[in-house]
Amino acid sequence: MARIAVIGGSGYAGRHIVAEAVSRGHSVLSIARRIPAERHAGAIYVEGSLTDVPDLLAQIEGVDVVVSAVAPRGDMQGLVRPNIAALASLLPEGVRLGVIGGAGGSLVTEGGERVVDLPSFSEDYKAEALEAIGVLEDLKEGPESLDWFYIHPAGGFGAYNPGERTGEYRTGGDVIVTDAEGESYISGEDLAVAIVDEIENPQHPRKRFTVGY
């Protein structure tokens, strides 16, 4: 079983990852600025922030995988990219880094334009999407010694559209995953399934991938 640290473990994506990993018997450390009232038995909860990398490094000592589930929005806008870069540069050898990005960085078609560049993409979310893309660019340019994976959820992913756990999903490489009607969606629980599957059976070393139904 892996020892997994989830940064932003009390947020929408983070709490689902914590729950899924614990349910499969992994040792899970949830790190967030506030310890949630509802906690999963078997996980350890500590206060911490992506903005304090030295403290984070002390907290995650001994883990196998670190997953960042912190979105660059609100008071974290502009802070996620530089702090993930700092964390990545200081992770101990052998620790794998996973990052949850956004749908905006996915491609519409293979070799085509990005979702964020479509006229229909909301201006309200563009800064967040571009910062998340910047995180991916930094990882690609980083040292070969750091193993990482970067996941783009489907477009309809979020607390506003939670869905249920089916245990099923599809991956699309660089291209956003859509269904037969062109809709792009994945539940919070099934995104967590995809992430823990990647941790248990790595398929995307130093790569990004998209997830949806």
**Could you read off the pLDDT of 101-118 as tens digits, one per residue?**
999 999 999 999 999 999
| Number of domains into which the chain is organized | 1
Give me the helices (H) in 38-77, please: 53-59
**Could you read off the pLDDT of 73-102 as tens digits, one per residue?**
999 999 999 999 999 999 999 999 999 999
Quick one: which of 49, 172, 50 has its CA closest to 112? 172
If you average pLDDT over residues 134-149, what whole number do you get?
97
- pLDDT given for residue 199 in this prediction: 98
175: containing domain: 3-212
Quick one: which of 84, 57, 92 has its CA closest to 68? 84
Q: pTM of the full predicted structure?
A: 0.96
CA distance 117 to 12: 26
- pLDDT given for residue 102 in this prediction: 97
CATH number at residue 171: 3.40.50.720
**Could you read off the pLDDT of 152-180 as tens digits, one per residue?**
999 999 999 999 999 999 999 999 999 99
Residue 90: its H or E element: helix 80-90
- pLDDT given for residue 17 in this prediction: 98
- Give the full edge-to-edge strand order of the sheet including 3-7: 43-47, 27-32, 3-7, 65-68, 96-100, 148-152, 207-212, 170-171
SS3 of residue 131 by DSSP: helix
